[in-house]
Structure 1
Amino acid sequence: MVTEITDGVKVSVETIYQSEYSNPGSEHFMFAYKVRIENLGRYSVQLMRRHWFIFDSNGTHREVEGEGVVGVQPVIEPGENHEYVSGCNLKTDIGTMKGSYQVKRLIDNEEFEVTIPEFYLVAPYKLN
């Protein structure tokens, strides 16, 4: 698990290789990732947008941007958290992801960027 804190918002990411949805012979490797966003600050925040950078070990780079996460723009109260699970497919068995969330502090509507730390997507057999 990797973790980073930006302006009182803690982002932790854990990954899971999805062998049942992968087909290495067809260059299809599926990974799930679980994200936990914790509000360590004093004010409520709302996650507005996401921006991902996805890197495959074959040199392919992708960017994904959009509103919220998995269809929601959660409000996270001080001391609370929001968790979600999503997925990413790669053409190789090793890759990385990193990015940022655009977050709004509700007391003054100020928006700021929260770092999503870089994490690895690795099929377990590559670790031996």
Structure 2
Amino acid sequence: MSDLVHDVTVTVEPEYREDESSPQEDRYVFSYTVTVYNAAAQSLQLLSRYWKITQGHGKVQEVRGNGVVGKQPVIAAGHSFRYTSRAVLECPVGVMQGSYTCIDPATQETFEVAIAPFRLAGPHQVH
């Protein structure tokens, strides 16, 4: 999803982690790699994150926190920041979506960058 005002694109690549999951214990682990691309003419800093995780059986979890993977990266104009994180679900299917709160260091203006919903699906699940 792209934020047209600030020209930021977020892409997410989810992956089921079979080696870390235990279906018999209702533990399904997913990694997701996020790339935040700043196509704007000025740098931005990613301050905080918000995730809404909806599991296949309907349970919803919301996660808020400063930065991502322990960092509040400054992303220069024309550059990207990439990181990988994890989510643990109780069922083999879910959906994540959310947003980042960013700031323009020059103007101190904060803005939200939406992260479009993406599917988490374990083995033998319809994609």
Give the TM-score of the pair, scaled to structure 2: 0.96
Provide the C-alpha distance between the structure 2 equivalents of 1:8 and 1:15, rounded to a whole number of angstroms.
23
CA offsets 1:20-51 (integer angstroms, 9 cap, x no match) = 00010110000000000000001110000000
- The secondary structure found in structure 2 opposite 1:20 is helix
- The residue that corresponds to 1:8 in the other structure is 7
- The residue that corresponds to 1:64 in the other structure is 63
- The residue that corresponds to 2:19 in the other structure is 20
CA offsets 1:54-94 (integer angstroms, 9 cap, x no match) = 00011100000000000000000000000000000000000
What percentage of aligned pairs have identical amino acids? 37
In the alignment, structure 2 segments of 5+ residues that lack a partner are none
Provide the C-alpha distance between the structure 1 equivalents of 2:107 and 2:123, rounded to a whole number of angstroms.
45
Provide the C-alpha distance between the structure 2 equivalents of 1:123 and 1:61, rounded to a whole number of angstroms.
18
Provide the C-alpha distance between the structure 2 equivalents of 1:42 and 1:107, rounded to a whole number of angstroms.
11
Letter in 1 for 2:75: I
Letter in 1 for 2:99: S
Provide the C-alpha distance between the structure 2 equivalents of 1:100 and 1:78, rounded to a whole number of angstroms.
20
- The residue that corresponds to 1:106 in the other structure is 105
Letter in 2 for 1:57: G
- The residue that corresponds to 1:53 in the other structure is 52
In the alignment, structure 1 segments of 5+ residues that lack a partner are none
Provide the C-alpha distance between the structure 2 equivalents of 1:67 and 1:117, rounded to a whole number of angstroms.
20
- The secondary structure found in structure 2 opposite 1:126 is coil
Provide the C-alpha distance between the structure 1 equivalents of 2:125 and 2:118, rounded to a whole number of angstroms.
16
Poorly superposed stretches of 4+, deviation over 2 Å: none
1:94 aligns with 2:93: yes
Give the TM-score of the pair, scaled to structure 1: 0.95
Post-superposition offset of 1:127: 3.2
Letter in 2 for 1:36: T
Letter in 2 for 1:81: S
Provide the C-alpha distance between the structure 2 equivalents of 1:117 and 1:14, rounded to a whole number of angstroms.
12
